[in-house]
Structure 1
Amino acid sequence: MAASSFRNPSPQRSLTVLLSGCLLGSQILLGCQMASQRNPEMGLDTMAPQVAETEAMPLAPPPDGEIPQEVPEPSQEDYNLIRDNPFQLVQAEPLSTFALDVDSGAYSNVRRFLNDGQLPPPDAVRLEELINYFTYDYPNPGDKPFSISTELSQAPWQPQHQLLRIGIKGQDIENAALPPSNLVFLFDVSGSMDSPDKLPLLKSAFRLLVNELRPEDRVSIVVYAGAAGLVLPSTSGAEKETILAALDSLEAGGSTAGGEGIELAYREAAENFIDNGNNRIILATDGDFNVGMSSDAELIRLIEQKREQDIFLTVLGFGTGNLKDAKMEQLANNGNGNYAYIDNILEAKKVLVTEMGGTLLTLAKDVKIQVEFNPAQVQAYRLLGYENRLLAAQDFNDDTKDAGELGAGHTVTALYEIVPVGVDSPADLPVLDELKYQESQPIASDFSGELLQLKLRYKAPTGDSSELISQAIANDSKPLDQASLDFRFAAAVAEFGMLLRDSPYRGESSFDQVLALAQGSKGEDLEGYRSEFIQLAKTAQALKF
């Protein structure tokens, strides 16, 4: 017979249990006596304070000297569900269409998790934002607002596949040459912002931006907590002391009426609108709206209405624990804007000073990309990232459909994993029946040397009609070790993201391969961002295993 786990309690333990039982019994008797005592004038139990006091009394310590463990508060952070883009058969889906995305918030948020010794939630890892955090050496534009370049090589995690990099670079504009700005700082000063990584960091970040303002620039400050208010009316950038004093006076407290704040900020921006200028609201928040208009749908509808005024929106996320990443990203996407997450003062400098032109000045809006793959060359493909920026094929020519924005000096990268014709892919590709009423085989053509046709549509910042750029891309692949440094580094970042997400398409990915690729393609790295990435990859490797 198996031995029982029951044991006779020790005398000391029995005495402890007996005393605890007596104490609990006396509390119950006291509560029963007090329950009958009522205030005849107010109709309330006069025992209520005593109950609260009794409940607060410490009970006897647990037996055997056990120390109760503190239960950590569950995270209130919010991320949209991401399902990795699957492979598409070119015979069935020859067109791939998506909106450009220059956001970088996911990378700095992932960095925050790793630096805190935690792996990020999979849905916090948006591949395109990790890749686009870094700048790449793409050619300068000519007579267009941006240049387009491509490169084709092997996919490191699936050597039988190819990896296509599409690179876009916006025209560089020196800060001194930027058009005059009408900026509205919209700050969340609710109680949820009362921690060092929120309002205090916000103040330090915006001091950096204020110091970059010119006399022709103007700034207003709108704040919201339980209600919204105008702290600083439109003020010249020459009056830095006035602006900084208003900034320093901000304190956190109260609930969060974000919708009311957005309404007031757009009203202030419209009243001080600068023709041919940069009219923009910069919203700084943790995204935790809880008073008035607060649902994602309500706020998105509001932003969609306001963007018709040619007022752009930048969203900066702050803080941990209750970060509403999903809400902030959607607001930026629907407000003709961009989204960044500020986890430290160096990130604030990168976003608001080093990349000031890209953050604050839009060169082109509603930028869309459409790729038509040649079925004679490509069996299947999949777009890495951009899951929440996909468009229907017909949306490409529809100028009423909102898309992405490109700022001055911005570089944007998109990666496609391609299965060439004739390759027996180890990946699970879709299986389709033969079509009855139309040809399912590629037609004979003179395009045998072309991999795809790349098309891009964009509008001027205040325009309503789009312009088209279209070019054929040759099937000109090279071995991975001969690919450019930028290509290999972007591939390393993509592989890193797939490992963090446990992507079903990660193939032969490994952190060792990520590190080898990144270390071999670091280049000059003047700002140190690529070196930092290598350290983050090492941290993730240690946490994963």
Structure 2
Amino acid sequence: MRTNRIIRTIAFFAILSFTVCAYAQKSAQKITVSGTVTDASNDMPLIGVAILVDGTTNGTVTDLDGRYSITANRGDKLLFFYMGYKTKEVSITEKTKTLNVKLKPDKVVLEEVMINRYGSDKKVPTVAGSVKKVDSKDVQEKPVANMMDALQGKVAGLQIYTSSKEPSEASSLRLHGVGSLAANNAPLYIVDGKPATPKEVAKLRQNEIKSVSVLKDASATSIYGSRAANGAVVINSKEKNVNLPIQFIAPITVPDAEAYSQYVENSFLMAQQDPLSTFSIDVDVASYSNFRRFVNQGQLPPKDAIRIEEFINYFSYNYVEPQGKTPVALTTEVGECPWNKQHRLVRVGVKAKELAEENMPASNFVFLIDVSGSMSGATRLGLVKSSMKLLVKGLRKKDRVAIVTYANGTRIALPSTSGADKQKIHEVLDGLGAGGGTAGSDGLMRAYKVAKENFIKGGNNRIVLCTDGDFNIGPSSDQELEDLITNERQSGVFLSVLGYGMGNYKDSKMQTLAQKGNGNAAYIDNLQEANKVLVNEFGATMYTVAKDVKLQVEFNPAKVQAYRLVGYESRLLNKEDFNDDTKDAGEMGAGHTVTAFYEVIPVGVESNISPLVDDLKYQKNTTDIKSVRLTDSPELLTVKLRYKLPDASTSSKIELPLIDYGANSVSDDFKFASAVAMFGQLLKGSSYKGTATFNDVLSLAKSGYGDDTQGYRREFVRLVETTKNMK
């Protein structure tokens, strides 16, 4: 009897154990989910939708056809984020393999998001400002040379000018109150939901027109963004003009309130006279996402907004991992220069060590949030709130967060609080509203004070500044802010600058704060970018593993006639600064990669880059390489790197030589990064772009896709194709 009970008991626990194991195995089952994300209103695919497994850093984005693929566990929730649309949450079951999602546009009319998107059939919503509608009867009752002339006298404040007597010549429209007759004061033209040029509008027949709406003031910008700063003429035809090609209006100018620092492009230097090239590393990526914002709005950015190094460093590359206790490692590669086949292109790569989440030190964060009037709107303060919630989601109990806000004055909205109290942090974020002036310098001082009061020794002490950079109360010039921030960077508190908004975005101030405040800068143009910077690259953005990182490259004059550093104009250092530990340089976060390119003219290659100066009177043969005693080293160059640990005051040095064997077989990373560098030079109209074309960029970039799991390289190709059409 007793034996039977024992047998039954053993059998019971065996079955129970098997059931539990089977359930656990099933629960942890990995499922690959794929599908397409489309607009619920018109079934058009959505490009670049951010898809995130809730509670993790696992995410992806949709491709050019709106497709995606992601691996998750049964029971996980997928979050679908896209600016201007409602976020959607979908649970994964064991049967979920194909998941097609339709996102609904948000009904809120965003100030800078085109709810009435080009190509859609949505009606113009009721907005503040002036809207004048002219119907087909008004347009057809008056015989005119072209359609635009029919608007004369129908809209108050509308002036029509014709620079030619030819009937087919397009008339110029100006709306009273938007400026002079300069070309950049032309309104935006929309025909059947698509942007059109004045010449295309002039070709429309009067009897084809169903209605014309002329939008002025806020009525134009609230729907079409900054492109309609001079008003918008919206034309609906009786039969949709489906054959009208989508084109971008030119010339397009940057809103006057945006500010970018000017700089002179690096030129070639003779290796014999200037064998040393020294610069600080740069991990900022704001220039690239700001460029993407311009292109997605149908505009081209100003040349000063293009910093090629930030374009290159926006993307991650597979570099050699640091070994031992050294926080950084060097990589070099050389191949044919794609925009000048006679030249060589050298790639210098730096990789910072990765940090597992459990090894990340406790964080003392201070969110410094601009709540001034210029931050009003869903793509400014609204996007800030959503961005910070993404960051808060990954915080642990030992991490702490304080929130400081500034407008006319400053306020501690949330004293330092445990990262575990997420609901409390969310409630404070949700309660923030925008209004008033911008006392940014006072806000910075208050944030540093709070950070130092809650300083964690051996921890990660960092201010996260969210702003459009429009400081207008107190010290506000770039130099005043530099002086202010320089005094604080010795405190051990680092600074991350996140830029938001458009129209009055102050890029120059962002760069000053990030470069002088021991920090980094990013531009957040949508929630996808926020997810990239604050979730996928959390360690790189928020945890510094090496500071004051600087590079010095020594070129061998026996091999190198001349060289040119591509980009990094604002990061150049004097050669003596390399060994001077008091000179500030860039910071690298956990897992960060930094890339720099040198275009090299080998000895023996004919070139016209020698400076046009008279021969020296008191020196002879100064440019004759035979008159200089050179070593017989086969090396092309040597790369030297200096860095400090986050809490150290003295630097360490590592070196890596490079020999050029003349091979042209290069890695996918080299191909893609050089395509990005070539594209940046085309955008800037560089004097050194050589034979580069947009088609060359596209071909080279596509050959270097590599393991593009996040889709960022394919997104780059899409942006290049769009830019090519705009050019």
TM-score (normalised: structure 1): 0.86
User: Does 2:674 correspond to 1:523?
Assistant: no
User: Does 2:413 correspond to 1:231?
Assistant: yes
Distance 2:555 2:653 in 1: 18
**Structure 2 counterpart of 1:125, from 295, 302, 306:** 306
* Equivalent position of 2:666 in the other structure: 483
Structure 1 spans left out of the alignment, 5+ residues: 1-57
* Equivalent position of 2:528 in the other structure: 346
User: Are 2:329 and 2:350, in contact at CA under 8 Å, matched by a contact in 1?
Assistant: yes
Distance 1:315 1:60 in 2: 43
Distance 2:334 2:461 in 1: 39
Structure 1 segment 353-364 matched on structure 2, within 5 A: 353-364=535-546
* Equivalent position of 2:428 in the other structure: 246
User: Does 2:534 correspond to 1:534?
Assistant: no
Query: In structure 1, the residue corresponding to 2:671 is in which secondary structure?
Result: helix
TM-fit CA distance, 1:224: 0.1
User: Does 2:382 correspond to 1:197?
Assistant: no
Query: In structure 1, the residue corresponding to 2:294 is in which secondary structure?
Result: helix
Distance 1:85 1:233 in 2: 46
User: Are 1:111 and 1:536, in contact at CA under 8 Å, matched by a contact in 2?
Assistant: yes
- Between the aligned residues of both structures, percent identity stands at 52
User: Are 1:169 and 1:409, in contact at CA under 8 Å, matched by a contact in 2?
Assistant: yes
* Equivalent position of 1:512 in the other structure: 695
Q: Deviations over 1:339-364 (max 9, x none)?
A: 00000000000000100001001111
Higher relative contact order (CA 8 A, sep 6+): 1
Residue 646 of structure 2 aligns with an amino acid whose one-letter code is P
* Equivalent position of 2:645 in the other structure: 460
User: Does 2:279 correspond to 1:279?
Assistant: no
* Equivalent position of 1:109 in the other structure: 290
Distance 2:348 2:617 in 1: 32
TM-fit CA distance, 1:68: 4.7
**Structure 2 counterpart of 1:174, from 351, 356, 368:** 356
Query: In structure 2, the residue corresponding to 1:458 is in which secondary structure?
Result: strand
Distance 1:62 1:162 in 2: 56
- Is the alpha carbon distance of 1:488 and 1:62 closer, same or farther for their aligned partners in structure 2, counting shifts above 3 Å? closer
User: Does 2:266 correspond to 1:85?
Assistant: yes
User: Does 2:256 correspond to 1:150?
Assistant: no
Size of the aligned set, in residue pairs, is 484
Residue 107 of structure 1 aligns with an amino acid whose one-letter code is Y
Distance 2:391 2:704 in 1: 32
Residue 647 of structure 2 aligns with an amino acid whose one-letter code is T
- Is the alpha carbon distance of 1:363 and 1:62 closer, same or farther for their aligned partners in structure 2, counting shifts above 3 Å? closer
Query: In structure 2, the residue corresponding to 1:476 is in which secondary structure?
Result: coil
Distance 1:258 1:103 in 2: 21
* Equivalent position of 2:277 in the other structure: 96
- Is the alpha carbon distance of 1:431 and 1:453 closer, same or farther for their aligned partners in structure 2, counting shifts above 3 Å? farther
TM-score (normalised: structure 2): 0.65
TM-fit CA distance, 1:84: 1.1
The root-mean-square deviation of aligned C-alpha atoms, in Å, is 1.9
Q: Deviations over 1:282-327 (max 9, x none)?
A: 0000000001121211111111111000100000000000000011
Query: In structure 2, the residue corresponding to 1:160 is in which secondary structure?
Result: coil
TM-fit CA distance, 1:473: 1.7
User: Does 2:680 correspond to 1:497?
Assistant: yes
TM-fit CA distance, 1:214: 0.2
- Is the alpha carbon distance of 1:412 and 1:340 closer, same or farther for their aligned partners in structure 2, counting shifts above 3 Å? same
User: Are 1:88 and 1:430, in contact at CA under 8 Å, matched by a contact in 2?
Assistant: no
- Is the alpha carbon distance of 1:446 and 1:238 closer, same or farther for their aligned partners in structure 2, counting shifts above 3 Å? same
Residue 492 of structure 1 aligns with an amino acid whose one-letter code is A
- Is the alpha carbon distance of 1:199 and 1:223 closer, same or farther for their aligned partners in structure 2, counting shifts above 3 Å? same
Structure 1 segment 425-440 matched on structure 2, within 5 A: 425=607, 428-431=609-612, 433=615, 436-437=618-619, 440=622
- Is the alpha carbon distance of 1:114 and 1:309 closer, same or farther for their aligned partners in structure 2, counting shifts above 3 Å? same
TM-fit CA distance, 1:478: 1.7
Query: In structure 2, the residue corresponding to 1:372 is in which secondary structure?
Result: strand
* Equivalent position of 1:474 in the other structure: 659
Structure 1 segment 393-404 matched on structure 2, within 5 A: 393-404=575-586
User: Are 1:87 and 1:380, in contact at CA under 8 Å, matched by a contact in 2?
Assistant: yes
**Structure 2 counterpart of 1:330, from 498, 505, 512:** 512
TM-fit CA distance, 1:59: 7.9
- Is the alpha carbon distance of 1:423 and 1:347 closer, same or farther for their aligned partners in structure 2, counting shifts above 3 Å? same
* Equivalent position of 2:115 in the other structure: none
Distance 2:172 2:392 in 1: 55
Distance 2:568 2:157 in 1: 56
User: Are 1:141 and 1:170, in contact at CA under 8 Å, matched by a contact in 2?
Assistant: yes
Residue 85 of structure 1 aligns with an amino acid whose one-letter code is N
Structure 2 spans left out of the alignment, 5+ residues: 1-154, 162-170, 179-228, 231-254
User: Are 2:492 and 2:647, in contact at CA under 8 Å, matched by a contact in 1?
Assistant: yes
* Equivalent position of 1:10 in the other structure: none
Query: In structure 1, the residue corresponding to 2:175 is in which secondary structure?
Result: coil
TM-fit CA distance, 1:458: 0.8
TM-fit CA distance, 1:444: 4.5
Residue 503 of structure 1 aligns with an amino acid whose one-letter code is S
TM-fit CA distance, 1:446: 4.3
Query: In structure 2, the residue corresponding to 1:363 is in which secondary structure?
Result: strand
Distance 2:576 2:159 in 1: 67
Structure 1 segment 5-44 matched on structure 2, within 5 A: none
TM-fit CA distance, 1:430: 2.3
User: Are 1:377 and 1:448, in contact at CA under 8 Å, matched by a contact in 2?
Assistant: no
Query: In structure 2, the residue corresponding to 1:159 is in which secondary structure?
Result: coil
User: Does 2:442 correspond to 1:257?
Assistant: no
Residue 701 of structure 2 aligns with an amino acid whose one-letter code is A
